[in-house]
Amino acid sequence: MSESFREISPADFFYRNRDLAGFNNPTRSMYSAIRELVENSLDACELYRIPPKIYVRLSYEENYEKRNVYRLKVADNGSGIPPEYIPSAFGQILYGSKYKLRQVRGTFGLGGKMAILYGQITTHSSAYIISSVGNNKIYEFEIRIDIQKNRPEILKKKFRSNRRKWHGTVVEFSLEGDYPKAMPKVLEYLRQTAMVNPYADITFVDPRGRLYMFEGVTKKMPKPPSEIEPHPYGCDVEIFMRMIDDSRSKSLQDFMTTHFHRVGKKTAKRFLKHVGISGRKNPKKLTPNEIVQLVQSMKPESFKYFLPPDANCLSPLSNELLEMGLQKDLNPEFVATEQRNPSAYSGYPFIVEIGIAYGGNTPNSPGITLYRFANKIPLLYDEASDVSRKVINNEINWNYYKVTQGTPVAVVVHICSTKVPYKTVGKEFIADRPEIEREIKNGINNVARRLSRYLSKKISIAYQKQRVNIFQKYLPKIAQFSTKLAGKKKIPNIEPLVRSMMHETKKT
C-alpha cells in the first residue's frame, strides 16, 4: 500500500500550475504574454538608461482557419542579451538576471518563459529570439523548452553582422488566445503603462491592423535603480550562512560592515556588543547557535539602532509625473499628489506615491476608482484583495473629507520597492504588509484632506456668489426706498458696497 514518489522540474511545475502565473485561459494568457514581454523590454531599457522604444505586434496565424491562434512579436531597443545566455534566458524557468535586490518589474525570472511555454503547449511551435548587445554581431535563435528537463533546446542558431551597432531584443512566437475578449485589458494595460512610463514609446499593432501609439511625453529618464546589500532586518539564517560562505572577511566586525546595507563601523560594534559576540571572531568559525543568536538579534524588536534601508536605490515616479499622468488621463478639476518618505518592511526599502483626482472625466462609479501600480507596472486583476483597496474601503473616513457616494474621485497608488510583496506569481495584487498599509493610509488621508479643502471652498464660493446676487438685486430698491423715506433726492451710490462684498467672496 505504498505511494509512488517522483520529482518534477520547475518548468513542469509551472506548466501544470500555469494558473498561478496568470496563464489560466486563452483570454487571460494573451494578456499575460504581452504584459510579461513588455515588462522585460522596459527593464532591459531602463536599467541602462535607454529611452525605451517598444514595438508589439499581434497577428492572426495564417495557417489556422479557426482564428484562435496568434503570432506575437515584441521588439525593444534595450541592452540586448549576450548570445551565451539567450537560450536559457528564454527557455529555462527560474533562470535570469532578476535575482538581485533592486527595483525591477520582473522579479520571478518566470514571466517571459511562461509566455513562450504557453505558446509551445498550445501551438507546438518554437520561439524565435533575435538579440544584440550592440557589438558587431546580431544573434538569432530558434528554441523550444524541454519542460520535463527544464532546459532549452536550440533548434537553430546563426548570426549576422551588425553594422549599425543595433542593440535590443526581439521575441516572436505563436500562441493560442482570444484577442476580442482580451482587447480591453490589453489596451488598458498599455495605456496605464504609458501613463507611468512617460519616457517610453510603445507601439501596438493589433490583429485587425489597428495601430495604437503611446508616445513618450518626455525624453528625461529616471536614474536607473541600483543594487543593494541585504539589510539586517530582512536577514535570515540562510542568507547569513550564504554570506559567510562567499565572504572574505576575517572578522565579524568587518563582515557586518561589508555585507550588510547601511551598517557602519559604529553600528556594527554596538550590535555585536548587544549580541555579546566578539567582533574579532572569524565569521567562518561561528557556531550554529551563535549564528541563530546573531540573526535573531537582527530584528527591530531586539536591536533598533540599524539605519533604515536607503531608498536611493529606488526610482519612484515623482509628483510631477503622477500629476501629469492623471491630468492627461482624466483631465480632472482638482488633483493632489504626495510622495511618502522612504520606508521599509522586513529590510526592503519602499516608497509609496499617492494621487487623488476629482471631477473632469473621473468616473463617478459607486465607490472610489482605484489605479494600482507597482514598480511602474499597472495591476489590473484581483483588485478586491489588494492592500490599497482594503485601505480605501475600510480605513479612510471619506465622509469626513466631504466625499460621499457618487462623488467622482479617483485614487492612484504606486508602490516601488526592491521587493514588492506580491501575493501571486502573476503579479496581480500586493499583500497587506502593515508597514506598507500604514504608508498608503497616511498618504491617502493627506491628499484627501487637500481635496476636502478644495471641496469646502467650492461650496462656500457658491454660497457667497448666491449671497452677492441677492444683495445686487435688493440693495438698489432698499436705497431708493430709504432715500424717498428720508425725503432726499439723490440716491446714494451702492456700487462700492457691492464691490467690497464681491471682494470678500474672492478672499474666502
Residues that bind its own copies (CB under 8 A): 1-10, 12-13, 15-17, 19-20, 24-25, 47-48, 64, 66, 69, 79, 81-82, 85, 88-89, 92, 94-97, 99, 107-109, 120-124, 133, 147-148, 236-238, 242, 288, 291-292, 295-296, 302, 382, 384-385, 421-425, 429, 431, 433
- CA pair distance 159, 136, nearest whole angstrom: 10
Between 121 and 380, name the residue whose CB sits nearer to its own copies: 121
Asked if 109 contacts 14 with a C-beta cutoff of 8 angstroms, the reply is no
Minimum Å gap between C-beta 74 and its own copies is 18
Which residues, at least 6 apart from 94, have a Cβ–Cβ distance to it below 8 Å? 10, 109, 110, 150
CB closer to its own copies, 19 vs 229: 19
Output the smallest distance, CB 268 to its own copies, in A: 21
**Toward its own copies, which CB reaches closer, 117 or 357?**
117
Cα-to-chain-centroid distance, residue 498: 53
CA-based radius of gyration for the chain: 30
Shortest reach from residue 428's CB to its own copies, in Å: 8
CA 484, CA 84: separation in Å to the nearest integer? 102
User: Cell 556588543 sits at which residue?
Assistant: 273
How far apart (Å, rounded) are the C-alpha atoms in residues 308 and 344?
Answer: 7
Select from 397, 407, 413, 325 the least CA-distant residue to 358: 407
CB atoms within 10 A of CB 482: 12
* Shortest Å distance, C-beta 219 to its own copies: 20
Least distance to its own copies, CB of residue 291, Å: 6
Q: Which is nearer to its own copies, 107 or 362 (by Cβ)?
A: 107
Nearer residue to its own copies within complex by CB, 67 or 266:
67
**At closest approach, how far in Å is the CB of 165 from its own copies?**
13
Nearer to its own copies by Cβ, of 16 and 266: the residue is: 16
Min dist CB 72 to its own copies, Å, is: 17
Residue 102 and residue 88: Cα distance in Å, rounded? 22
Task: Output 433 or 449, the one with its CB closest to its own copies.
Answer: 433
Non-local (6+) Cβ contacts of 271 within 8 A are 232, 256, 263, 297, 298, 303, 305, 306
User: Running DSSP on this structure, what letter comes out for residue 159?
Assistant: E
